[in-house]
Amino acid sequence: MSTLAAHRNHPTYWAFVLHRLSGLALALFLPVHLYVLSLVIDGGARFDAFIDWTAHPLVKAAETGLVVLLALHMAGGLRLLAVEFLPWHDRQKTLAALAAGFAFAIGMLFLLNVV
């Protein structure tokens, strides 16, 4: 394995990748969210129809995934702040794993509350 690709096996690299991908997914979601909010202004009937559509299990699963992405992105941002402002320690891999576990736990709590 080349030294260029060796860094990609490090857990903090994957924390970096997940942080960027979750940010991208949230950025793509934002226009959809703003569109749905505009349905309230345009007319209540279209918004009510959309809200009825959100009761489907697949939409609930997507909402849970969105909450996981949001928690993952927040945890990744906190990890970056820690890397920037706190002294470096060997336990960075543990902190990255805790951030991922935190994101998953938040998603599961949301799922249990939604269903």
| pLDDT of 7 | 65
- Could you give the residue ranges of the DSSP H alpha helices within the chain? 3-6, 11-42, 44-53, 57-85, 92-114
Q: Are 95 and 79 in contact, with CB atoms under 8 Å apart?
A: yes
Domain ranges of the chain: 3-23+55-114
Fill in the DSSP letter of residue 45: H
Fill in the DSSP letter of residue 88: -
* Band (89; pLDDT cuts 50, 70, 90): confident
- What pTM, to 2 d.p., does this model score? 0.65
Task: Express each pLDDT in 36-72 by its tens digit.
Answer: 888 888 777 888 888 899 899 999 888 888 888 888 8
Of 115, 109, 3, residue with least CA distance to 59: 115
Flag whether pLDDT at 15 surpasses 60.
Answer: yes
* Band (6; pLDDT cuts 50, 70, 90): low
Q: What is the distance, to the nearest Å, from the Cα of residue 48 to the centroid of all Cα atoms in its chain?
A: 27
Could you give the C-alpha distances from 34 to 19, 56, 60, in angstroms and in order?
Answer: 23, 21, 19
| pLDDT of 18 | 85
Flag whether pLDDT at 115 surpasses 60.
Answer: no
Could you give the C-alpha distances from 87 to 12, 25, 41, 63, in angstroms and in order?
Answer: 16, 31, 49, 36
Pairwise CA distance, residues 33 & 63, whole Å: 12
